[in-house]
Amino acid sequence: MVFKIFKKGEDQKRKEQGVFSRLKERISKSKEGFIRQMDDLLLGKREIDPEVLEEIEEILVMADMGISTVQKVMEGLQREIDRGDIGDTEALRNHLKGKIKEIFLESQNKRTKEREHRPHVIMVVGVNGVGKTTTIAKLAYRLKNQGKKVLLVAADTFRAAAVEQLEAWGEKIGVPVISQKAGSDPSAVAFDGMEAAKAKDVDVVIVDTAGRLHTQVNLMKELQKIRRVMGKRVEGAPHEVLLVLDATTGQNALSQAKTFLEATEVTGICLTKLDGTAKGGIVASIAHELNIPIEYIGIGEKMEDLRPFEPNEFVEALFED
């Protein structure tokens, strides 16, 4: 019995190490993009002079960390240098890592806690092309593997083949999908989804929504209408609004986020395609400027490559050699 317990612990340890190694591997472009540049800059240097700080600031800006976020980080570092807390470049690197963690942790305080409502309704928003529908499938797959009874609602009735795409994913992962024909009223589909969720005693409902209509104004009004319809059928719905953003679009992702924030109360961010960008600073920029928790990150094509965002783990993977 003792041997089994030990083996189970060892298996869990190996599993955690494997997950961490995969995260390091998948965000390697971001490591090369700015962590490696910073390490090359600091190599062989001991003293911290204004030129070193200026170059670090430039590296962070080029990594898409955003001007206001970089300013916050650099001002914090300067205060610690002035206090004597940072005496050499190695300490500078460690304190920089700490500052980036702080940015994430500040926004993560708002993270959605336990899903107490039943059915718990997650409304997913985002422009076309960010990987929204695939993210929904990965999230449904993850929740199903946790023992949840999941239902998908295909309320993106405007994009060609969007309904069929979600239905195909539902069939693949074994999760039912509520849908109507393309061009149907999205709110009517959402209504049907809420009714089905209550009738089938579902744990979690994930609602896909349109990423583009004829005008941006129409899109935002449609999202507000869907919210109202769902809230009338299920108390408090939607309980989460997950905004999907494409990390490879950099600062454009921030612009998209601000547009959606004007129309609906976003509770969390899912940042996709993080394995495809060398500008990993966008993660910190989004956390700082939006002050909305990053709930999930996408680091690959596999179903298991959608994972909860853990600030400490992410920053350690980013900075570790």
Chain centroid to CA 155:
21
pLDDT value for 5? 47
What are the pLDDT digits (tens) for 270-309? 999 999 887 889 999 999 999 899 999 999 999 999 999 9
d(CA 43, CA 63): 19
The half-sphere exposure of 300 on its side-chain side, counting CA atoms within 13 A, is 13
Q: What is the pLDDT of residue 19?
A: 67
Give the pLDDT of residue 1: 39
pLDDT tens track for 230-281: 999 999 999 999 999 999 988 888 888 888 887 788 999 999 999 988 788 9
Q: HEC profile for 4-30?
A: HHHHHHHHHHHHHHHHHHHHHHHCHHH
**Pairwise pLDDT comparison (38 vs 113), residue with the higher score:** 38
DSSP secondary structure code for residue 167 in this structure: H
Exposure on the CB side of residue 140, measured as CA atoms within 13 A:
30
Q: Is 241 helix (H, G, I), strand (E, B) or coil?
A: strand
For the packed helices 216-233 and 251-263, what is the interaxial angle rounded to 10 degrees?
50
Q: What is the mean pLDDT of residues 213-237?
A: 85
pLDDT higher than 70, residue 108: yes
> What's the pLDDT score for residue 120?
96
Kindly state the tokens that stand for 233: 């059928």
Please give the pLDDT value at position 69: 95
Percent of the chain with pLDDT over 90: 63
Give the global pTM.
0.89
Distance of CA 69 to the CA centre of its chain: 18
User: How many CB atoms lie under 10 A from the CB of residue 265?
Assistant: 12
